[in-house]
Amino acid sequence: MTVFDLPAVRALVEAALAEDVGRGDLTTQLTVPPELPGRAAIVAKQEGVLAGAPLVDMVFAALGAPVRVTHHVEDGSTFTLGATLMSLDGRAADLLIGERTALNFLQQLSGVATLTRRYVDALQGTKARVIDTRKTTPGLRVLEKYAVRKGGGRNHRFGLDDGILIKDNHIAAAGGIAAAVRAARRGAPHTAAIEVECVTLEQVDEALASAADAILLDNMSVEQIAAAVRRIGLCAVIEASGGVSLTTIRAIADTGVDLISVGALTHSAPAIDLSMKIEA
């Protein structure tokens, strides 16, 4: 069982097809003989890291189309301009109907994996790991987080329910960091670790005193981060976030943080240009 077997992913594939195919492909139905065989290749028009290849199989399956997909590159691998990522055999009409939906998935997820890989490469030689955020495209979270993994990144929590992240408003409402951590520890499943978001070194001290499992240093300068890292030592997992870019991430990593979270991985990765060449 993989991420592609999740009901939400199957439902998304069907929704994506529904919005493209609607009541049927008028053009293809009227111009292409239904049983005409066809072959196709998905070709890279720029280099990148692949993610989402199994979705191509799923798109054609959801169409009720007997298309055989042969994968030449697997998710997580890099490809060069001009590479053939996969070959497809089936009816020409089916290939034409599923083409755009399949490519839309592949282009977006490979975009995420490719951008992630660039961040991962920028951290080479440091102990820091790049992680994603909850700033994902509505409806695509588990897929985009999968693409982050395929790019070499690591995942932050998947949602509001699978981890504790205490932010400024929680702290204010609970009456301070100590009270908030205590409430969380008392009420949450013991399988959930507790992270506290801090914007000052004083807060870091409070979070340490409350025995938080992880500390998120938000929007701090590199100097502040370095100071925080010294105070925390091994007493908590250290995450840095806020305004991280490919030009700034290395300096942040060099402070010794464990994790650097980057929203852009999922909310601003440009699509990778791919095309499907069909021989009708």
Site for a copy of itself in 168-227 (CB under 8 A): 169-174, 180, 183-184, 186-193, 195, 213-214
Q: Residue 252: which region, alpha, beta or left (left: phi > 0; alpha: psi -120 to 50)? A: alpha
156 binds a copy of itself (CB under 8 A): yes
3-class secondary-structure state, position 26: helix
39 binds a copy of itself (CB under 8 A): no
Q: Please say if 145 is a catalytic residue.
A: no
Among 141, 178, 227, 250, interactor with a copy of itself by CB under 8 A: 141
142 binds a copy of itself (CB under 8 A): yes
Pairing of strands 84-91, 37-44: antiparallel
- CA–CA dist 22, 20 (Å, integer): 6
Q: Please say if 135 is a catalytic residue.
A: yes
Helix axis angle for 53-62 and 7-21, nearest 10°, is 60
Q: Please say if 150 is a catalytic residue.
A: no
**Hey, what are 86's tokens?**
């996969």
Which residue is catalytic, options 134, 149, 167, 185? 167
Among 165, 204, 212, 260, interactor with a copy of itself by CB under 8 A: 165
Question: Beta-carbon neighbour count of residue 258 at 10 Å?
Answer: 18
What is the per-residue binding string for a copy of itself in 67-106, x denoting contact by CB under 8 A?
Answer: -------------------------xxx-xx--xx-xxx-
**Hey, what are 242's tokens?**
């806020």
What is the per-residue binding string for a copy of itself in 41-70, x denoting contact by CB under 8 A?
Answer: ----------------------xxx-----
162 binds a copy of itself (CB under 8 A): yes
Asked if 155 and 64 count as a contact pair (C-beta separation under 8 A), the reply is: no
Q: Please say if 100 is a catalytic residue.
A: yes
Among 73, 178, 201, 264, interactor with a copy of itself by CB under 8 A: 264
125 binds a copy of itself (CB under 8 A): no
Among 164, 204, 208, 220, interactor with a copy of itself by CB under 8 A: 164
Cβ 171 to a copy of itself shortest distance, Å: 8
Closest CA to 218 of 242, 248, 243, 238: 242
What is the per-residue binding string for a copy of itself in 227-256, x denoting contact by CB under 8 A?
Answer: ----------x-x-----------------
3-class secondary-structure state, position 139: coil
**Cβ burial, residue 153 (10 Å; 0-12/13-18/19+):** buried
Cβ 46 to a copy of itself shortest distance, Å: 12
Cβ 53 to a copy of itself shortest distance, Å: 15
Task: Give residue 23's identity as a one-letter amino acid code.
Answer: R
Q: Please say if 47 is a catalytic residue.
A: no
- CA–CA dist 94, 101 (Å, integer): 12
Question: Beta-carbon neighbour count of residue 220 at 10 Å?
Answer: 21
Which residue is catalytic, options 10, 118, 135, 182? 135
Asked if 94 and 37 count as a contact pair (C-beta separation under 8 A), the reply is: no
Where in the sequence numbering do the catalytic residues fall?
100, 135, 167, 197, 218
